[in-house]
A and B are shown apart, each in its own frame.
Chain A
Amino acid sequence: MSHLAVLAAGQNLPGFGNQPFWISLIKVVAVFAFLVIMTLFSIVFERKVVGRMQNRIGPNRTGPWGVLQSLADGVKLAFKEEIIPALADKPIYFLAPILSATPAFVAFSVIPFGPEVSMFGHRTALQLTDLPVGVLVVFACSSLGVYGIVLSGWASGSTYPLLGSLRSAAQMISYEVGMGLSMVAVFLFSSSMSTSQIVAAQSHTWYIIPLFVSFAIYAISVVGETNRAPFDLPEAESELVGGFHTEYSSFKFAMFFLAEYINMVTVSALATTLFLGGWRAPWPLSLWHGANSGWWPMLWFTAKVIAIIFAFVWLRGTLPRLRYDQFMAFGWKMLIPINLVWILAVTSIHVLRDRNWPAWEATIVPLAFVLLLIVVPGLMIWEGAAARRAGQDAEDEEDAAQERPTFPTPPMDLTIPTPPRRLATASVSRPAAELPGTRSEVDTDG
């Protein structure tokens, strides 16, 4: 699809579409190489960081400090025996890993790495292509990536993969809604959907500051979108063996692995682009005049992406997996309503500013309205419901306490008599009854 994007892009955005064919080719190869290297890097990085978080060293055998571990693993995977289940639906079984990996690569075609640079005498932006609706390309690719997972589970002809793929179908659709809604505020603020223009609009303030709520919701929902812990229910290894890729081996499995890590890099890159100023240098560095020109921005961009990947790894090292119903309830009942209310506030702020209200009033008035009319009543209703539930629970508890348990339990008012002196001394240093309140006054020296 990316070449089609190139075909159509020329009409609207200057700097794209009229670049020579060979420059596009160089960019395509560069993006591909970047993604593969980032995948190799982030696998080792993740294993090292999680290792440190668990007081281990992590891989340290292959190459200096173990940095070549994932390369070795990749080569090993490619040479492994390929096992295809007898019940597999062959064509779809083959198609699924491709459908999973291809969109992951394509999504990166609209991510801006840097400003215009001079490349062999041509002025060209460090970005493969851009569309007036560039962010939607990433979004479309992530929604196509679902097919790989869903079909792999179905085509394997096995129970656990099917369950994994059913889970992922429901999960990714639910969290895509939250992810899409969290981008809306960015579109409103930058009045554009093209990635390069969104970066350009953040030359003053990064959108993480005015749009922190959107950023938080985006960050949470992409964890669900990329199937990473604590939202890794489609491949929950303690419940579903390996989830959707249980029946895959050899290179096909490697494709899923690759797709998962590229998706992680892609959503990190998109978070950088939408909320963290894209390739712009962070504060102390931005004081240096040349920080935002030439090839330097690629470095800032990569550093930001790696910082977000670190957060992903940190989450994985810290949080346990959610239960499935809690996870879905969290997405639909928390993230999406909060998002909708937040968009309402942001839109009002935007409209008031367009009508030349002073900046402070234009911000405070809509926020106050939203707080008073929606958030506070909503919270009150929620609190009331929670209190009612708690009351009913307490009643149940009392009822339950009335019933006589069938399981042999000691009476609640049991008092343990002080054991006679002879017995206590006989059992060397451990008094028979060491309970608070009934502690025997026996000297237990011996």
Chain B
Amino acid sequence: MSAVLAAGPLVNGQVPLGEAIAFWILGPISLAGAIGMVLLRNAIHSALSLVATMMCLGAFYIIEQGPFLGLVQIIVYTGAIMILFLFVLMLVGRDASDSIVETLRGQRWAAALFGIGFALMVALGVGRAFTGERPVNLDKPNVDGGNVTSVAELLFTKYLFAFELTSALLIVAAVGAMVLAHIEREGRKPTQKSLARERIRSGRPQPLPGPGVLSTGNSIGTAALLPDGTISQESVMAGLQEFPPDTGNPRALDPADYGDSEVRQ
């Protein structure tokens, strides 16, 4: 069985059994991933479908005797680029589903029309390019761990110009992104020391008092009580001040009970 499963040489375009099995498992998964990416409403689910498709593509490359290409596909696209996408999507928030309101009239029909047209064009182009082509076994160029070497050789000889041009484009894009996102800092970056000094100088080196945890409630709106039973205004969050703060214990001590009846804010 394993002898059949091992990727044997292609004879007149006949596909080995192992390759066929892998194709018929991974093909539907990658298609489902692509469709799911378009149809799913939640942005994260959509991104994950794309990840599934990319992983399947990586596996396809490995089956098609391009292990280096396949693994680089997984490392770069799934491992780096899609993680960055997820990073951004997670910052957007978990309920950021797509709105289905059409902002431009007839946009959906136009998009569908152009989409189908583009798909047909690509399918025809690719289909024509491959008619009459014989699939070739890559054992010969791959000999002696040569997958990496052959890719490198092509990149640095025949396609050197395109390769360098692409890298220049990427660098320009990266620098552009940095320039667009860069914010000039006003003044110097505060150090730990200067922050500590500021804090002491502010007159309040300690943090603001937390909300009260009393027998009647422990919500964030519950004000903390000072030792004399009055409410500590500082313990109430800025936005909550319009709500009547929970005074907690109704039998809070009256300030007048103390000889020193200084009521603090």
Contacts and interface: CB of A to CB of B under 8 A. Distances in A.
A218 interface: no
A386 interface: no
A143 B80 contact: yes
Contacts, number: 144
A381 interface: no
Nearest to B76: A143
Contacts of A162: 90
Given A11-B142, A12-B144, A133-B148, A169 B83 contact: yes
Interface in B82-137: 83-84, 86-87, 90-91, 94
Contacts of A271: none
B3 A170 contact: no
Residue from A20, A131, A405 having most chain B Cβ neighbours under 10 A: A131
Interface stretch (B59-67, B157-165, B210-218, B219-227): B59-67
A306 to B, nearest CB: 29
Interface in B41-75: 42, 44-45, 48, 51, 55, 58-59, 62-63, 65, 67-68, 71-72, 74-75
Nearest to A95: B48
A144 B74 contact: yes
Size category of the binding interface on chain B:
35 or more
Contacts of B202: 406
Given A143-B74, A169-B87, A7 B5 contact: yes
A347 to B, nearest CB: 13
Contact of A8 (B42, B63, B75, B188): B63
A194 B55 CA distance: 21
Q: Dominant SS at the A interface?
A: helix
B168 interface: no
Given A4-B62, A192-B145, A169 B86 contact: yes
Interface stretch (B178-186, B193-201, B241-249): B193-201
Interface stretch (A146-154, A209-217, A332-340): A146-154
Contacts of B147: 12, 132-133
Contacts of B22: 4, 7
B6 interface: yes
B79 A176 contact: yes
A5 interface: yes
Contact of A11 (B83, B139, B194): B139
5 contacts: A132-B148, A143-B74, A197-B145, A392-B188, A406-B202
Among all A-B residue pairs, the 4 with the closest Cβ atoms: A143-B79, A132-B145, A136-B71, A21-B2
Interface of B: 1-3, 5-7, 18-19, 22, 42, 44-45, 48, 51, 55, 58-59, 62-63, 65, 67-68, 71-72, 74-75, 78-80, 83-84, 86-87, 90-91, 94, 138-139, 142-148, 188, 191, 193-194, 197, 200-203, 205
Given A147-B78, A169-B84, 13 more contacts: A7-B5, A10-B7, A12-B142, A13-B145, A131-B71, A132-B145, A132-B148, A136-B71, A136-B75, A143-B83, A147-B83, A393-B191, A407-B200
Interface of A: 1, 4-8, 10-13, 17-21, 24, 89, 91-92, 131-133, 136-137, 139-140, 143-144, 146-147, 150-151, 153-154, 157, 162, 165-166, 169-170, 172-173, 176, 192-194, 197, 392-393, 396, 400, 403, 405-407
